[in-house]
Amino acid sequence: MGIMLVLLAYIYDPADWQHYPDFNEIRNFTADAFHTVYAVTSNAILELDEQSNLPGKVYTSGQRLPTPIHLALFDNDRHYFWIATEQNLLYTFPVIGGFPSRIPVSNNGSVERIGLDEKYVYFDFGSAVTAINKYTQSEEQASPGGNVTWVYSAPTSDIRDKYPFLAPWFITDIEMYPFNRVFLHRTKAYVSAPGYGYIVYSTQGWQELTRYRGLKTTGVHSLFTTDGSLYAVGLNGISELSFDEETFVFHRFDNWGTTKYETPIWSKGAYSKLRRINFHKFRLIDDYLFLLEGEDAYVLNIPSGKLSDIVTNRWIYDVDFHEDTLFFATDEGVFYTSLPDEIPTPLSDERTKLTADDVYGIVRGEGARYFWTGRMLVKQSPEGWKYYTRPSYLPAPQEAIAGRDSLIILGGEDGLVIYNPEDYFERRLTKEEGLLSNKVTALHLQDDYLWIATDAGLQRFDLNAVLP
């Protein structure tokens, strides 16, 4: 059955997004003349909320930000950033619309620090300092004076001597790496640590105000929510994002269930399994957690802590569970079985689209079930079978699938598409529309929020911004 989908455009609006980018290495902090502080990473500049000190608005290459960034300094007079990239190129980047502008300079070395005064921006290349007139953006002969504000590529020196009140926190946190940058702005100190995130202190007594731990899970392949937290599952462990605290706690697979690290209560009964790192997908459905490992599916009954396993002899892409029936989407079609241990039986549809071929995902709807084959969407309901064509845009390969009813979200190497063939609706999202990266690795739909894992971090998108 062929249908015509309506492909509509979406214009990036920061109010629709919540960003949790990769904070493994903060290049530097910078600030305006008031209370706004920015954290600069290699692929993004993040505006930190004045009250919570948490990441808010984000600028990425989707907004034409030059990357990868080596250093960036905010210019309050001109309302843009002066940026030095890792390729030793210099740019201005406006915060309110417009395009970045490349600044030609006679020196093409690596920038060690950027300075700013009322008239000039200074790029210090170590062996020489180049002055750029802020208003003409041309190179002039000028030397930095004593009123220049600097940001540095090198870590803050003598941290223990300059900021002795940081030492107790450094000693007590087992996950903490050494501090490498301290940035003072008005009454706050912003402290970064590679592989961790950042901490914000009040400089009046050095009381800790905010501790932001970044996403440390690598290769995120699964997302699910339970008990007031989001869990991002990857190759090395699981990052837990508490919705109340909006900060991550990292649970390593190799230490799972030991006394060294606290582990989530839902994992009771699967400690030994979770110390393995070869699962390719987790699915939480009702009171059951399904751990998929190639041709095997391990089923954890969370209330009882009982773990069982089912062998299908087929590669399992996805599962769905309803009442006592478990459905498998595999590389040889769809199978179903009753828990705990019946032999899987092939599911036959009218056109045999779900047999002997890849079926990548299952989405449960109200009184219906939807199967994604990579070429079409197949609907199973008490009224029979229906078949819908694929969207006009399709990420290839599709690394992630989520949805509800006939609303299907597909993510992969070139962003994601939100697709509802029953409503003739299609919407594509890429970096230009707000994604941290076009490489989408996992998706999860929580009410009207779409959680998106990419290779550059985690995001939450309000679907009400695009749904008709």
Looking at residue 6, its pLDDT comes to 52
Distance (Å, whole) CA 147 – CA 130:
17
Q: Which residue type occupies 350? A: E
CA distances from 213 to 37, 112, 138, 199, 361 (A): 17, 27, 40, 8, 32
Strand order across the 90-94 sheet: 69-75, 80-85, 90-94, 101-102
CATH architecture of 23-154: 7 Propeller (2.130)
Residues 327-383: pLDDT tens digits? 999 999 999 998 766 788 999 999 999 998 899 999 998 889 999 999 999 999 999
Question: Which residue ranges make up each domain of the chain?
Answer: 23-154, 222-465
Contact 62, 12 (CB under 8 A): yes
222-465 matches 23-154 in CATH topology: yes
pLDDT, one tens digit per residue, over 240-278 is 998 887 778 888 888 787 766 667 888 887 887 888 768
- Nearest Cα to Cα of residue 458 among 216, 279, 267: 216
DSSP string for 320-384: EEETTEEEEEEBTEEEEEETTTPPPEE---TT-TTBSS---EEEEETTEEEEE-SSEEEEEETTE
Specify the CATH superfamily of domain 222-465: YVTN repeat-like/Quinoprotein amine dehydrogenase (2.130.10.10)
State the Cα–Cα distance between residues 443 and 450, nearest whole angstrom.
7
Per-residue pLDDT band for 164 (boundaries 50, 70, 90) equals confident
**Least confidently predicted of 75-89, 98-112, 171-185:** 171-185
Block residue for tokens 């921006």? 121
Residues 6 or more apart whose CB falls under 8 angstroms from that of 173 comprise: none
Q: What is the pTM of this model?
A: 0.85
Q: Which of 136, 105, 138, 135 is nearest to 123 (CA)?
A: 105
Give the model confidence (pLDDT) of 128-156 as tens digits.
999 999 999 999 999 999 899 999 988 87
* More confident: 247 or 284: 284
Amino acid occupying residue 43: N
First to last CA, the chain: 23
Residue 175 pLDDT exceeds 70: no
Q: Which of 256, 250, 296 has the alpha carbon at shortest distance from 276?
A: 256
Per-residue pLDDT tens over the stretch 49-61:
999 998 888 888 8
Closest by CA to 288, choosing from 243, 327, 241, is 327
Strand partners, 352: none
DSSP secondary structure letters along 274-307: HT-----EEEEETTEEEEEETTEEEEEETTTTEE
Partners of 276 in the beta sheet?
Answer: none
pLDDT digits (tens, 9 = 90+) for 411-468: 999 999 999 999 999 999 999 899 989 999 999 999 999 999 999 889 999 999 999 8
pLDDT band at 37 (very low <50, low <70, confident <90, very high): very high
User: For residue 456, with 0-12 CB atoms within 10 Å meaning exposed, 13-18 middle and 19 or more buried, which class applies?
Assistant: buried
pLDDT score, position 205: 80
- State how beta strands 425-429 and 6-8 pair: parallel
Specify the pLDDT at position 2.
Answer: 44
State how far the Cα of 137 lies from the Cα of 128, in Å rounded to an integer: 18
CA dihedral 257, 258, 260, 263 (to 10 degrees): 10
The per-residue DSSP string of 129-151 comes to EEEEETTT--EE-----TT-EEE
User: Across all residues in the chain, what is the average pLDDT?
Assistant: 88
CB-based contacts of 401: which residues, under 8 Å, 6+ apart? 318, 360, 361, 363, 372, 408, 409, 410, 411, 443
Give the Cα separation of 404 and 205 in Å (integer): 50
